[in-house]
């Protein structure tokens, strides 16, 4: 295994971990905030951040950008409606 491949794996893990922590914080804020406008804005921002992090990891690993993994970006919407 080459060093550059391991570096890509580590960078991918860091990108996803950081982005998912940010998305989790946005979702907690969206669910606990009282207004409907804040709920929708924060949910949409969390979906966009999820999409961009998945796309970024795919580009970093030189894989196809269009993949079924992009469906996981809809997770924040499902979680938001479950806890709302």
pLDDT for residue 84 is more than 80: no
* pTM to 2 decimal places: 0.86
pLDDT of residue 50: 95
In this prediction, residue 81 has a pLDDT band, given cuts at 50, 70 and 90, of: confident
Do the beta carbons of residue 27 and residue 76 sit within 8 Å?
A: yes
DSSP one-letter string for 31-75: HHS--HHHHHHHHHHHHHHHHHHHHHHHHHTT--SS-GGGGGGGH
pLDDT at 66: 92
pLDDT classification of 57: cutoffs 50, 70, 90: very high
Higher pLDDT, 83 or 26: 26
Number of structural domains found in the chain? 1
pLDDT, one tens digit per residue, over 11-50 is 999 999 999 999 999 999 988 987 888 899 999 999 999 9
Range of the domain at 55: 3-83
Q: Which residue, 68, 67, 66, 19, is CA-closest to 47?
A: 19
**Kind plus residue range of the DSSP H or E element containing 79:** helix 75-83
Phi, psi at 35, each rounded to 5°? -90, 150
């Amino acid at each position: 295994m080459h060093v550059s491949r391991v570096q890509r794996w580590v960078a991918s893990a860091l990108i996803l971990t950081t982005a998912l922590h940010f998305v989790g914080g946005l979702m907690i804020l969206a669910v606990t905030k009282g207004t409907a406008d804040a709920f929708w804005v924060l949910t949409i921002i969390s979906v966009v951040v999820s999409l961009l992090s998945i796309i970024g990891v795919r580009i970093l690993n030189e894989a196809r950008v269009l993949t079924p993994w992009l469906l996981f970006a809809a997770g924040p919407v499902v979680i938001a409606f479950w806890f709302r």
